A and B are shown apart, each in its own frame.
Chain A
Amino acid sequence: MMNELERLKECLSARFPTACLAIDRPALESGGWFLDATLQGHLVVVEWRADRGFGVSTPSEDDFGAKPDEVYPTTDAACSRVVELLLSQTRTVPGRTLPKIRESRGLSQTDVAQRLQINQGAVSRLERRDDMLVGTLRNLIAAMGGRLKLIAEFPDRCVDIQIDQLLNGDAR
């Protein structure tokens, strides 16, 4: 039976018949699988683990041991991003800071400001803030098209925290 990375390869193969697509299998099926996709000399590397989803990167020669730049939970989401990267010949955006997340969504501070009905300077200040209310962060992420989740990690399990219960009446 085909796994999710092999499905991704099929999706990309249908979209780009001339692309070079190579799967690098781990010794154990549960290990980290890689798909190297090259189109017109532009390399996109996808790492997949059944328990983590897809990591997408456009690595440079300096990236020995670096983890994936961008993470996608589903085959469709990963496929869309790889198609975009191959067509545009652009690079993935590493890091998880708010400006990097915003840039990875193709949004300017002005775009986010318009969605939040605040000015661009306020977004700039929010992105540089050391500490932030959960409600503010939730709204900022929503303005970028995402949904904020909070997960508490314990040694034996992870627990989703209900964000609405953390917010006071004004922020809900």
Chain B
Amino acid sequence: MEVPKRERLEEFFRRLLAAPGVGSFDEALEQLSTILDAVEDELSGAENVPQDWQSDQRLYPPQKDSLRVVPEHPRVRRFRNRRHSTYIGENGSVEIVSLSGRVEVRKPGRDGRGVWELD
């Protein structure tokens, strides 16, 4: 049964925020990806086919080729998707921001610092 996208997204944010803080960029990306894949496996009803190009109603974690540099913040990297940017700090912190500027998730790294507290 397919659960509405907003509910799946809220479940993803809830699980991400509830998960223990991690200590590196790679760990944060892996944690985020694992949690979103699990939510979508359970609730989307859509197969996991990230390599396909067109919408299949499933939500996918950031893809490595959508990486961006963040000017003036060399310890932070950004992934872009169609409506959001996901910022990940080298300390494992995460911030997900909508194009409208709304912060959806703000999660510190294991050291307690947020994405913008690394410089």
Contact = CB atoms under 8 A, between A and B. Distances in A.
B84 interface: yes
A149 B12 CA distance: 37
A66 B62 CA distance: 10
A60 B65 CA distance: 22
Given A28-B67, A45-B82, 13 more contacts: A34-B82, A36-B99, A60-B83, A64-B81, A65-B36, A65-B59, A66-B58, A66-B81, A67-B54, A67-B55, A67-B60, A69-B55, A71-B54
Nearest to B33: A65
B31 to A, nearest CB: 15
Interface stretch (A51-59, A110-118, A121-129): A51-59
B: contact size bracket: 20 to 34
Interface stretch (A8-16, A19-27, A140-148, A162-170): A19-27
Nearest to B36: A65
A43 interface: yes
Given A26-B68, A28-B65, A62-B9, A68 B82 contact: yes
A26 B67 contact: yes
Contacts, number: 105
Contacts of B100: 61
Contacts of A57: 55, 82
Nearest to A34: B80
Interface of B: 5-6, 9, 12, 36, 52-63, 65-69, 77, 80-84, 96, 98-100, 102, 104
A63 interface: yes
A26 B84 contact: no
A70 B69 contact: no
A149 to B, nearest CB: 14
Contacts of A99: none
B55 to A, nearest CB: 4
A60 B59 CA distance: 13
B5 A62 contact: yes
Interface in A38-55: 43, 45, 47, 49, 52-53, 55
Given A67-B52, A67-B56, A62 B6 contact: yes
26 contacts: A24-B68, A25-B68, A26-B67, A26-B68, A27-B68, A30-B65, A31-B65, A32-B63, A36-B99, A45-B99, A55-B82, A61-B98, A61-B102, A62-B5, A64-B9, A64-B84, A65-B60, A65-B84, A66-B81, A66-B83, A67-B56, A68-B54, A69-B54, A70-B54, A71-B53, A95-B56
